[in-house]
Amino acid sequence: MKSLQEFKIIKMPTYKYTAINEAGKKINGILSSDSERAARQQIKALNLTPLSLDTTNKKYFLNIKVSNKQLLFATRQIATLLDSSISIDETLQSIAFEVEDKSLSAALHAVRDEILQGSKIAEAMSSHPSIFNDTYRSLVAAGDAAGNLQVAFSNLADYLEESALVRQQVISALAYPMILMVFSIGVVFALLTFVMPQVVDQFIRAGAELPTLTSVLMAISNYSGLILLSLGVSMLLSFFYYRHLIQNNQTAIYIHKGILKIPLVGKFMLNAEVERFSRVMHLMMKSGLNLDVAMQQARVVIGNKYIAQSIEDARIELVEGKDFIQSFKASNIFPSLFLQLLSSGYKSGNLTFMFEKVAQYMKGEIESKRSTFLSLLEPLVIIFGGGIILLIVLAILLPIMQMNNMALG
């Protein structure tokens, strides 16, 4: 197996441009080129009319985004062309003209240019981190180091396709409960803002005492704006404070370790991280990387800092010739099946297969728990929203019934 070599970035002038396409729409994008003249030629090659072209010393444009659909299409096409023995520079040039997203097209042109200048493909992609994320670049680097880019891009396309499918399933499942929640909030707002104040006003004019439930809800209604503002500010401050805390790696590790201990949520997050790690490890080792380099690269896909540090500790044990499985066990967080399959695969020399099995098992566990949660979410939203609306209706009806009793009395 081959190891991943250090990258040496070859800097090229980077340009941010504004152009008009054939439909007369303004398009913004980025590209790398030897000169401004060459950059304008690249823009015209995209069937665009350049309006402005600004050079910058910044290597990254973090605000450039492309759709997952377009990235998946480009990745799948790259794998297909590479499988047909077409060179990587010709492949990138061809796909750059095919994709609809101009930012992705410009990025592919820029990547091709840097490759022609002598850069590795993952190096060139690192100039566009908002398009090609850490996972994407790591898998490409693994395939490049193993001399099998076609397999790497094919695996990447499968990875992106599966991730997009899961995302779509979650969005579809959440759509109806979210609609119910928004509708419930609208009804509650209307009742508290327009209906209840009128009923209460008439009740007060009659000189009667308001029922306790009505008084409480009316007080909430009167201060609803302040309550919502306070909640919003508190959540915003908490978010920024959290972001500030996790800037320190040790603090982030401590916080993320605590998150894993939250009932239900922690286990779900752990399973999701282990599934992602195992899937990427399978792809990297399948692409030809050895175990320690694959672990070093795969840990970048882990969002939880404590899990990522545990993986790094295990990798260090491996490099030092120690039993890295024991390091995983010492963290006391990884599922027992993960440890058993990993140990079996390491002893039998079939870790690549075992990582695939772990990923498949964890995926099943995650989908099962997600399906259960989503199936419970809809009735919970109905019960919760219906309960609040019922309380408000009771708060409105109680004064009316009390006034009727007073009138009859």
Position 121 scores a pLDDT of: 93
Position 35 scores a pLDDT of: 74
The encoded tokens of residue 228 equal: 């919502």
Interstrand relation of 14-20 and 49-56 (parallel, antiparallel or unpaired): antiparallel
Position 62 scores a pLDDT of: 45
Burial 29-43 (b: 16+ CB within 10 A, else e): bbbbbeeeeebbebb
Report the distance separating Cα 250 and Cα 104, nearest Å. 36
The stretches in the chain having pLDDT less than 50 are: 1-11, 57-62
SS3 content of the chain, % helix, strand, coil (to 5): 70, 5, 20
Which part of the chain is CATH 1.20.81.30? Answer: 14-132, 173-409
- Residue 121 near residue 112, CB atoms below 8 Å: no
**Nearest Cα residue to 278 out of 199, 217, 362, 201:** 362
Report the distance separating Cα 385 and Cα 182, nearest Å. 10
Position 5 scores a pLDDT of: 40
- Residue 164 near residue 68, CB atoms below 8 Å: yes
Report the distance separating Cα 269 and Cα 266, nearest Å. 5
The number of helices, as runs of H, and strands, as runs of E, in the chain is 17, 3
> What's the pTM?
0.69
CATH number for the domain formed by residue range(s) 173-409: 1.20.81.30
Residue type, 126: S
Position 338 scores a pLDDT of: 92
Report the distance separating Cα 263 and Cα 328, nearest Å. 21
Q: Which architecture characterizes domain 14-132 according to CATH?
A: Up-down Bundle (1.20)
N-term to C-term CA, the chain: 93
How many other β-carbons are positioned within 10 Å of the β-carbon of residue 116?
12
